[in-house]
Amino acid sequence: MELDKNLLGKKRENYLSWDEFFMGISKLSAGRSKDPNTQVGACIVSEDNRILSIGYNGAPNNFDDDKFPWNREGKPTETKYMYVCHAEANAINNYLGSRKDLRGARIYVDLFPCNECAKQIIQAGIKEVIYLSDKYNGTDGNLVSKYLFDSCGVSYREMEKEHQKVLKLSLKPDEEIEYLDEKRD
C-alpha cells in the first residue's frame, strides 16, 4: 500500500529537540533540590533516547532535610560538602533496574561534573556528558574530571547554544510550553 503524501498532513514544527527535552527534565529535577545556593539536576538517557533515571543534589536518603547542614562556610563537619549527594551520583544510584542499562548511556547535567561524580559516571559505563555550565573550569577538581573523562573514553560537550532555550513551563491545564527567547512557528 502506498499512502498519498499530499493527504498526510504536516508534523508540528516547534517540538523540543532531544537535547532540549532531556536538559529540560534535568532542570526540572533541580527544582526538587532543597539546597539554598546550588540546585543541580541530572538526567540519564539510554542510547535509544529513553530516560533511565533522574537525580538532584540533596541529603542522603532518610536524612532529615531540616537537620542537614546547608552552610557553605564554617567547620568542615558543619558544611554541606561532606554530606551532600550530588545530582549525578543520585541519578546513578536511584536507578533500580539493571546496572547494565547504564552502559553506553549519556547524562544531562546543569553543571559540569565534579571529580567524584566523574568517577561514578565512568564506573557506571556512561559514555557522554552534556552540560550547560562549566563555571568551575580550570579548578583542580574540574581539571581532574576532564583528565578522567579523557583517559577513560567519556566524551563531554556543552549543549549547543542554539538549544539553550528559555522555556516557560506551565502546570496549568491547556497551556503549552512557551519559548520565551525565540519565535518558533
- Provide the annotated active-site residues: 88
Toward Zn ion, which CB reaches closer, 121 or 159?
Answer: 121
Place of cell 559516571: 121
Is residue 80 a contact residue for Zn ion (CB under 5 A)?
no
Place of cell 543541580: 40
Stretch that binds Zn ion, among 78-86, 143-151, 168-176, 177-185 (CB under 5 A): 78-86
Compose the 141-170 pattern: x for residues touching Zn ion by CB under 5 A, - for all others.
------------------------------
How many other CB atoms sit within 10 Å of the CB of residue 127?
A: 19
With CB under 5 A as the contact rule, the residue among 117, 126, 130, 154 that binds Zn ion is: 117
Q: Is 141 exposed, middle or buried (0-12, 13-18, 19+ CB in 10 A)?
A: middle
Q: Which residues pair with 178 in a beta bridge?
A: 168
Q: Which helix (H) or strand (E) holds 157?
A: strand 155-158
Question: What's CA 63's distance to the chain center, in Å?
Answer: 23
Q: Cβ of residue 125: shortest distance to Zn ion, in angstroms? A: 17
Grid cell at residue 107: 547524562
Q: Cβ of residue 114: shortest distance to Zn ion, in angstroms? A: 3
Is residue 122 a contact residue for Zn ion (CB under 5 A)?
no
Give the three-state DSSP class for 45.
strand
Toward Zn ion, which CB reaches closer, 21 or 83?
Answer: 83
Question: What's CA 31's distance to the chain center, in Å?
Answer: 12
Is residue 102 a contact residue for Zn ion (CB under 5 A)?
no
Q: Cβ of residue 88: shortest distance to Zn ion, in angstroms? A: 6
Is residue 114 a contact residue for Zn ion (CB under 5 A)?
yes
Where on the chain is the footprint of Zn ion (CB under 5 A)?
A: 86, 114, 117
